[in-house]
Amino acid sequence: MIFKTLSFMMMMAFAATTQAQTDSFSYNDERFADLQMLRYQVHGFDELSLRQKSLVYYLSEAALCGRDILWDQNGRYNLRIRQMLETVYTDYKGDRKSKDFQAFVVYLKRVWFSNGIHHHYGSEKFQPGFSETFLRQAVASVKDKLTFDTEALFPVIFDPAVMPKRTNQADGEDLVLTSAANYYGQGVTQAEAEDFYLKMKDADQDPAHPVMFGMNSRLVKEDGVIKEKVWRSGGLYGAAIDRIIYWLQKARTVAENDKQEAVIDKLIEYYRTGDLKTFDDYTILWVNDTQGDVDFTNGFTESYGDPLGMKASWEGLANFKDKAATARTEKLSANAQWFEDNSPVDARFKKENCKGITAKVIVAAMLGGDLYPSTAIGINLPNSNWVRAEHGSKSVTIGNLTDAYNKAAHGNGFQEEFVIDEDTRRLINLYGDACDDLHTDLHECLGHGSGKLLPGVDADSLKAYGSTIEEARADLFGLYYVADPKLTELGLTPNGEAYKSQYYTYMMNGLMTQLVRIEPNNNIEEAHMRNRALIAHWVLEHAIDNARRREQSQYRGHTDAEHTQTFFPVPQDQLQPAVQLIERDGKTYVQINNYAELRTLFGQLLAEVQRIKSTGDFEGARKLVETYGVKVDGKLHLEVLQRYKALNLAPYKGFINPVYVVERDKEGQIADIRVTYDEPYDQQMLRYSRDYRTLPLVND
Ligand SMILES: [Zn+2]
């Protein structure tokens, strides 16, 4: 499973943070259609040993060699179409400034991005913004460069009725016949495919440890017989797989330890045989290989592209441990008991023996296959349920990609539109990214692991409200502690005001800006969003209550004999609520007047949420969630949607890969490897099509 959370990332990037672009690295690259191209920095690569650099380099090459597999998996004409379009792109001698050619360029860039002619996210076929006549003329003009018949490709590109969806999920249709994805041969029906695999599962000798049936093959019908064409060396996609094996063999010579070498060997064995039991053995070795710094995924992994959810698209990722982030979470974990003991919750609900979790953060070094250019920000593998249950899983977040999303959002106008004033923007610029990471660390490493249920309380007693309450608990733990002097003492926050950036963006997100992800007239459904709304609205309401109480307290005391009230004035600034929504020039803003009081409120709500959890108070959970976490203020919602739309931000993002430059000594041995970041998007795509063309144009 991967966390390919596009819209979530958009929010993280736009709402949660931002920091001044202090380095000269350019995170944003070109924009076209609904896409924004970004770049990521491979932090820490220069600090790796030469052996580790070589390992990362070989695994990066292996990650790039499966590109053609994915293109062919995404549709049987994709490789031919790519070749035809790229030839026009490089050799067309006509007017390159014409409207048709410009539209053609956008189309090609979208096809590159999607690894095929269907949208990477929505899976619908792209509508070209140029005419068929134009493309036919352009193709004719470069005909001597093309070695195959292109006629069949035009209806595939232009006829809306041909292959309209890559992965059709519409209930009631034959999902296999109506999906353009190339996981099933021509003429194979959904019923035939389902029947084929049902029989295979029924015949399984070891049903407690089932392999991932059908994961690494195309199901075809030949002479009326249904059978699998397995993706392996010597089989379908064998030419690409042999190139992957070539680089894996180089990688094993510089493995960090014996365990890692055994992992790579097992993967090679699996690629050679296509045997799915060997694949399970490989994933078990991979899960247990945690000693080294360098790691990878390489292979047929995720099945989102198969309408039946069995066949896995090819992906590759080379990565290594993010040492700085890991040091941060280790510090928190080492102090887990201190945080537990000092939290504002009732002593009865505290753990006596609290162990933190060290979050694993990695640095992506190369993205390939289904992780490129649109990518995941986290990985949780393997996917086999029994392997997970018996051997565990690796769950990692990809720190440098999250960082790139955040940095790229700087200067996109979001803050200028939604943050109340220059002073607050300055705080967010200075500390936003760091405190956002820290809040996530506190949430993951300490928050979820804190607290305990009272004896006899059923862990499921909060039922449908359980996950919202649990997320609120972890978030509140983070919010309460991000402001604690302990963090400055541990060297995790630079000073006593940094946390204010997190308080502001959290409240702004919970009260307003997360609403950009909700359609008009809808309620909030998703647990994380409900939790943020719950916290922000509860705190807002209680801040206003507190201010009202202070206001009334001015008239407290006694009424004297003449029945006149005595007035005890409270300083003007204390009459304001700690947080409020204000309107200026027809626009709503969050205004925070008292950060310290905000922290007290977060602490009070944490105590209440922990009480609900620890005692299994279903009614309390229901009330809290339904009152504060679900409903949307329709008028404010529309306002936020309009303001967001006016910013004209690209809804989807993807990454251009870095380039590794290998320097060799006189003997031809690797002397050093440098990473560079200046290859343009189109040049990278053309280079990949040239240097990593591992498959024939037709793979039947
Ligand atoms: Zn959580």
Tens digit of pLDDT for each residue in 483-497?
Answer: 999 999 999 999 999
The alpha carbon of 444 and the centre of ligand 1 are apart by a number of angstroms equal to 6
Q: Cα(404)–Cα(677) distance, rounded to whole angstroms?
A: 13
Decide if pLDDT at 380 tops 90: no
Name residue 418's beta-bridge partners. Answer: none
Instruction: Give yes or no for residue 409 having a pLDDT over 60.
Output: yes
CA of 215 to the centre of ligand 1 (A): 31
- Specify the pTM: 0.84
pLDDT of residue 377: 84
For 259-266, what is the mean pLDDT? 98
Q: For residues 589 and 508, what is the distance between their CA atoms, to the nearest angstrom? A: 8
- Counting other chains too, the contacts that 487-494 makes at CB distance below 8 Å and 24 or more residues apart are 487/438, 490/331, 490/332, 490/335, 491/331, 492/328, 492/331, 492/332, 492/438, 493/431, 493/434, 493/435, 493/438, 494/431, 494/434
Ligand 1 centroid to Cα of residue 443, in Å, is 6
Q: How far is CA 35 from CA 31, 374, 651, in A?
A: 6, 10, 7
- Split into its structural domains, the chain has a count of 1
Q: Measured in angstroms, how far is the CA atom of residue 487 from the centroid of ligand 1?
A: 20
pLDDT in tens, 506-517: 999 999 999 998
Type of residue numbered 90: T
Give the tens place of pLDDT for each residue, 44-98.
Answer: 999 999 999 999 999 999 999 999 999 999 999 999 999 999 999 999 999 999 9
Residue 11 CA to residue 591 CA, distance in Å, equals 20
C-alpha of residue 531 to centroid of ligand 1, in Å:
10
Whether the predicted pLDDT of 41 surpasses 50:
yes
Rg (CA), the chain: 28
Within-domain flag for 249: no
- DSSP state string for 45-71: GGGS-HHHHHHHHHHHHHHHTTHHHHH
609 Cα–ligand 1 center, Å: 14
What's the 360 CA to ligand 1 centre distance in angstroms?
A: 15
Total Cβ atoms within 10 A of residue 644: 20
Is residue 687 one of the residues assigned to a domain? no
For the chain, the 3-state helix, strand and coil shares in percent, each to the nearest 5, are 50, 15, 35
pLDDT band at 395 (very low <50, low <70, confident <90, very high): confident
| Domain presence at residue 560 | no
What residue has token string 């039991």? 277
Dist. CA 299–CA 311, nearest whole Å: 12
With contact defined as beta carbons under 8 Å apart, do 349 and 452 qualify? yes
The reply to whether 154 falls in a domain is yes
Q: Evaluate if residue 628 carries a pLDDT over 50.
A: yes
Mean pLDDT of 353-372: 90
- Tokens 């064998």 -> residue: 238
Strand 587-592 relative to strand 652-656: parallel, antiparallel, unpaired?
Answer: unpaired
- Distance, in Å, from the CA atom of 511 to the CA atom of 475, rounded to the nearest integer, reads 15
Looking at residue 378, what is its pLDDT?
Answer: 82
Ligand 1 centroid, distance to 440 Cα (angstroms): 8
Classify strands 2-3 and 28-32 as parallel, antiparallel or unpaired: unpaired
Is residue 535 within 8 A of residue 468, CB to CB? The reply is: no
User: What is the whole-number distance in angstroms between the Cα of residue 397 and the centre of ligand 1?
Assistant: 13
User: Ligand 1 center to residue 508 CA distance, Å?
Assistant: 19
Q: Is 95 exposed, middle or buried (0-12, 13-18, 19+ CB in 10 A)?
A: exposed
Instruction: pLDDT band for 620, please (50, 70, 90 cuts).
Output: very high
Percentage of the residues of the chain whose pLDDT score is greater than 90: 82
Q: Are the CB atoms for 502 and 436 separated by under 8 Å?
A: yes
pLDDT tier, 648 (very low <50, low <70, confident <90, very high otherwise): very high
What is the C-alpha separation between 590 and 505, in angstroms, rounded? 9
Q: Is residue 112 part of a domain?
A: yes
Residue 618 near residue 465 (C-beta atoms within 8 A) = yes
Distance 9 CA to ligand 1 centre (A): 15
Count Cα neighbours of 626 within 13 Å in the Cβ-side half-sphere.
Answer: 7
Q: What confidence tier does 1 reach under pLDDT thresholds 50, 70, 90?
A: low
- For the segment 539-557, the average pLDDT, to the nearest whole number, is 89
- How many whole angstroms from its chain centre is CA 218? 28
Q: How confident is the model at residue 273 (pLDDT cuts 50, 70, 90)?
A: very high
Ligand 1 center to 467 CA (angstroms): 9
Res. 559: pLDDT tops 70:
no
In a domain, 451, yes or no: no
pLDDT digits (tens, 9 = 90+) for 217-255: 999 999 999 999 999 999 999 999 999 999 999 999 999
Say how far apart CA 564 and CA 603 lie, in whole Å: 39
152 is in which domain, residue-wise?
A: 75-173
- Residue carrying the six token digits 């936020």: 640
Whole-Å CA distances, 547 to 74, 237, 573: 59, 68, 10
**Domain-embedded: residue 94:** yes
Q: CB burial class (10 A; 0-12, 13-18, 19+) of residue 170?
A: exposed
Q: Give the pLDDT of residue 700.
A: 92
In whole numbers, what is the pLDDT of the chain averaged over residues? 93
Cα 506 to averaged position of ligand 1 atoms, centre (Å): 15
pLDDT the model gives residue 562: 62
Of 496, 489, 498, 524, the C-alpha closest to 509 is 524
Q: Concatenate the DSSP letters of all residues of 627-642 into one string.
A: HHTS---HHHHHHHHH
Mean pLDDT lowest among 367-371, 411-415, 526-530, 559-563: 559-563
Q: pLDDT category, 6, cuts 50, 70, 90?
A: very low
Residues 6+ apart with CB under 8 A from 690: none
Q: Check pLDDT > 60 for residue 31.
A: yes
Phi, psi values for residue 23, rounded to 5°: -90, 170
> Higher confidence at residue 473 or residue 22?
473
Reported as type and span, the H/E element at residue 654 is: strand 652-656
Distance (angstroms) between ligand 1 centre and the Cα of 441 equals 10
Mean pLDDT of 566-575: 80
Range of weakest confidence among 128-142, 381-395, 463-477: 381-395
Q: Which residues of 488-497 are buried (b: 16+ CB within 10 A; e: fewer)?
A: eeeebbeeee
What are 109's two structure tokens? Answer: 């860039």
CB 40 within 8 A of CB 401: yes
Q: How close is the Cα of 242 to the center of ligand 1, in Å?
A: 41
Query: Does residue 165 sit within a domain?
Result: yes
CA of 448 to the centre of ligand 1 (A): 7
Residue 378 Cα to ligand 1 middle (Å) = 14
Measured N-to-C along each axis, helices 422-441 and 499-511 cross at an angle, to the nearest 10 degrees, of: 90
445 CA → ligand 1 middle, Å: 10
CA of 474 from ligand 1 middle (Å) equals 6
Could you give the angle at the alpha carbon of 570 between the alpha carbons of 564 and 572, nearest 5°? 125
d(C-alpha 411, C-alpha 31), whole Å: 15
